[in-house]
Amino acid sequence: MKFGPWSEIKVALLGHVSVGKTTVLNAILGDQFGEVSMRRTTAGINFFRIVSSDEATGESDKWSVAGQKEDIKAADKIHQEISKSNKKLREAQKIEEKWFNVGCKPLCEMRKETSLVVVDIPGINEADSNNIYMNYVQENWKTFDCVVVVMDARQGVNTEEQVGLLRFVKDNLSKKKNLPVIVLFNKVDEPDDTEQALLVKESQAKISSMFGVGCRAKALKQLPTLSGKKGVKHSVPTSKLYPVVIPVSAIRAYFYRAASSLPFEEFRKKFDQDIIEKIGREEMNRNKWRKMSVDKKYKALYDLVVEGSEDEEDGIQGTGFDTFLCALSVSVGGQETQTKLLQNQVDIALQSFQDEKPSCSQFMALHETSKALDKDMGAIKRAFWTKYTSCKESSLDAFRKEPKVEVMAEPVALLKEYSSFVTSVVWEDEAKLVAKSFYDLVSEQIGVIVNKQDLQSAVMIGETGTCNSFWEENCPSCDGQPVAQSQQEGDTKDGTWGSFSVYDWVTIFESVKQNLPSSPFSQELIVLGILKDKYASSLGTSKLVKCACSTCYNELQRLSGSNGRKTISGRRYRCGCRYPGSNKCQKTHHSKEGWDVSFDRGKLKVVGSLANVQVPSTPSDKQHWGHVAWCCKNQMESEGQP
């Protein structure tokens, strides 16, 4: 088994529900890989990577992509897996992508180290799908190299839905990516049906008008010359060829392509009587056919289709599928055409990095394609660091303006994806740059925090200066309202740096400090430790006022547990104004004795909800103030650093 750096050419099958997309897929691959039914079938996005032997050398080595060991599965196994998956996906209403390696005769001339991938997409007009398939096509249009639009020839282009599909294709061609488009008018199962032929001709004219191109029938005449069938070297098609419009019978094409290499017993098992009757009536003398037994029908059709033909192409002539395969070969086949398609992939991918967040798999695909084209890898490196620098500066600017720590997660995510990629391709110099960038990002985040902290301006929630003596009656300073509660309802939660209390700052310092690796952040650890101790000491000199009067007892109970008690780190706390024989304060008063803040092994324990900063339970959460430091520590550990 060989594993390459392989590039891929993707051909997408697109259309409405029940127009025969899966039958077209089966005809392309020469076996039944997908469900075929009168009802809607396909529910997932299925990628079929065509794997074939190296006919030139006689080798039978199988290749996969990006070092992934994927076996070639038999058609019936893939069919079962897809059928099972379809049922679940219809109920879940979600997108799922599946990849399959399939053995198939080459559909066109392929350049070295390049695979052809057929993408089967569910009907984009499927009911209750909330346009998820249409959105998928639009979002992934740039990843396709050719689009095959399947339409029902019996309906023509006579409804808003059909016109809408073609407009959708045209819009993506102009706004996303210009690529070869082949329109298949499927279900032309009676070649001699004159009414059907007129409808196809009418549809071709409408498409010519919509896309602003010349006669589509004349454009088809370019195909034999372009494909090299007349001994002419395979050449790159011109834009005037597209969209190619071809009438086909996918069911008949599937029959001929699937039957051509089967022994009789397998032929008998594979095809049910319905398709035998359909093909037999068209291929044999109808009167004679009607008089045959079922066994004789199978044998007669087998002799005609398989043994009576020296080549599979003899059978598919008249189905229109030979013309389609020719158009497909012209669109994505041949050394020169595929080189241009792959170069276009690279250019679009590099450009898209500036607008989207690239993943490790996208980096890998770009790397494999660039390697297949023998391109300089420096373009990938420059594109990433340009993207990362812009993202980092934007996130830091947002963080300086507003203390929403989650904005720092975006540059972290970029570094993590790129790190996975450079590790896979063993770019040691880039791995060192990633490690340094993690360190710089943590340092810059800490720098913002240190510059923003100001003990003199920090909000002292529940400060004791307001009520500093025992009051039997309502407190004249707050007119009976609890001091701590009053202050929490003020301007301390306006989401700005200046709104943070002393508790908030201690929580922030400790959250970052706990997740910093000791090396190389020794200086930062010292600074954060000094600041945390400085803020904590200011808390230690002043106990908090927490009213336990009958007016606000319910609030105290909600914050602190039943009967005004709360256990923290094994110590019990209660209201400082308790009366003998009662756990509940009976009078309206304030006391400067009350709930305090406990420090247990250096960790801040805040009673109630006096702090604005709510720290998630795990630093893997992007809203955790120590998230960036934690990611940096994980990165260092993965590289074996202490």
pLDDT for res 7: 86
- Tell me: the pLDDT tens digits for 356-413? 888 898 899 899 899 888 888 999 999 999 999 999 999 999 999 999 999 999 999 9
CATH of domain 2-260+309-333: 3.40.50.300
- Measured N-to-C along each axis, helices 321-332 and 335-352 cross at an angle, to the nearest 10 degrees, of 60
Q: 3-class DSSP state for residue 191?
A: coil
Whole-prediction pTM value?
A: 0.74
- The parts of the chain modelled with pLDDT lower than 70 are 1-5, 34-43, 52-70, 86-93, 127-130, 224-239, 307-315, 456, 458-495, 539-612, 640-642
What pLDDT sits at residue 309? 55
Assigned token pair, 252: 């008949």
Cβ atoms of 36 and 23 within 8 Å: the answer is yes
- Which residues, 6+ apart, have CB-to-CB distance to 510 below 8 Å? 532, 602, 603, 604
Residue 604: in which H helix or E strand, if any? Answer: strand 603-605
pLDDT given for residue 52 in this prediction: 67
- pLDDT tens digits, 433-483: 999 999 999 999 999 999 999 876 765 544 333 333 332 333 333 344 333
Structure confidence at residue 308 (pLDDT)? 57
Tokens of 68: 């992934």
Map tokens 């241009």 to a residue: 340
Measured on CA atoms in the order 341, 347, 351, 356, is the torsion positive or negative?
Answer: positive
Whole-number pLDDT of residue 601: 36
Closest among 146, 46, 51 to 95, alpha carbons compared: 46
SS3 of 212-226: the string is: CCCCHHHHHCCHHHH
For 244, residues 6+ apart whose C-beta sits below 8 A from its C-beta are: 180, 181, 182, 183, 216, 219, 220, 223, 327, 331
- The pLDDT of residue 504 is 85
Residue span(s) of the chain under CATH 3.40.50.300 come to: 2-260+309-333
Instruction: Please state, in angstroms and rounded to a whole number, the distance separating the CA atoms of residues 194 and 373.
Output: 49
Here the tokens at position 545 are 């006022």
pLDDT of res. 563:
42
The pLDDT, as a whole number, for residue 551 is 36
Distance, CA of 59 to CA of 1 (rounded, Å)? 11
Tokens of 216: 């589509």
CA angle 535/496/621 to nearest 5° reads 80
Look at residue 41 in the predicted model and tell me its pLDDT: 53
Query: Nearest 5°: phi and psi at 478?
Result: -120, 10
